[in-house]
Amino acid sequence: MNLHSHIDLAFPIRGRTVPRDHGYALYGALSRLIPDVHGATWIGIHGIAGKLAAPDELTLDLMGMLRVRIPTDKIGELLALAGATLEVAGRRVEVGAPTVQVLTPVAALDARLVVIRFTGGLSKPFDRADFDQRFVAEAQRQLVAHEVRGDLELCGRQSLSVGGQRVIGHSVRVLGLSPDDSLKLQIHGLGGKRTMGCGIFRPARIKMKAQQVA
């Protein structure tokens, strides 16, 4: 496996606000502009960073970025974003020319939200302990499948709105990664909905209260 096959393509953006929960809307905006993005498995779309202006609203940073994680041979397919104006849940976001950011192999990686589909669906009524146990088992199975060795930590339940439905997952941290395993995890991610900002790992930068899983 080529561990240098993927990069983050970073587009500067200008705008006022986006919804705090904007993963589904951002995916829709990119898909309308570049139809090949719809249903694509080769792209991960990071959430847009901003300052919390209201419970459900983010104010965009002056140096805001839209980042997408893609194979290097897909760069050309995303260049149509440069100079475009996206409509994200009714908010206009102007996109500039991108730069390439290489993936950095670090020992600790965070994903803001990992969502995993369980065989048979969720238990009803919702059982938190059962959910966490099944989540950990599947996340660890995926780590093994990708030949990644690391210590998995759950850092709190999070959720995503997808077409009016609430999808539940966890913030996840993986520690003790070798350089190669760090790059593998950044390339493959964990779980689904990577086009909506889920399961995408970046170098850990903040302290989170974590529950370590043996």
CATH class of 6-102: alpha beta
Q: What is the pLDDT of residue 207?
A: 60
Cis amide prior to 105 (ω within 30 degrees): no
Q: Where are the domains of the chain?
A: 6-102, 109-212
Domain 109-212 has CATH 3.30.70: yes
48-82: burial string, b at 16+ Cβ within 10 Å, e else? bebeeeeeebbebeeebbbbbbbeeebeebbeebe
H/E stretch holding 76 reads: helix 75-78
For 40, the 3-state DSSP assignment is coil
Q: What is the pLDDT of residue 118?
A: 82
Per-residue pLDDT tens listing for the chain (214 residues): 788 899 999 999 999 999 999 999 999 999 999 999 999 999 999 999 999 888 899 999 888 999 999 999 999 999 999 999 999 999 999 999 999 999 999 999 999 999 998 876 666 777 888 899 999 999 999 999 999 999 999 999 999 999 889 999 999 999 999 999 999 999 999 999 999 999 999 999 756 554 444 3
Q: What is the pLDDT of residue 186?
A: 98
Q: What is the pLDDT of residue 106?
A: 97
**Up-side HSE of residue 117: CA atoms within 13 Å toward CB?**
5
Q: What is the pLDDT of residue 206?
A: 59
Question: Nearest Cα to 193, choosing from 111, 91, 104?
Answer: 111
Contact 23, 196 (CB under 8 A): yes
Q: What is the pLDDT of residue 214?
A: 32
Would 6-102 and 109-212 be classified into the same CATH topology?
A: yes
| Distances from the Cα of 170 to the Cα of 20, 159, 206, angstroms | 17, 8, 16
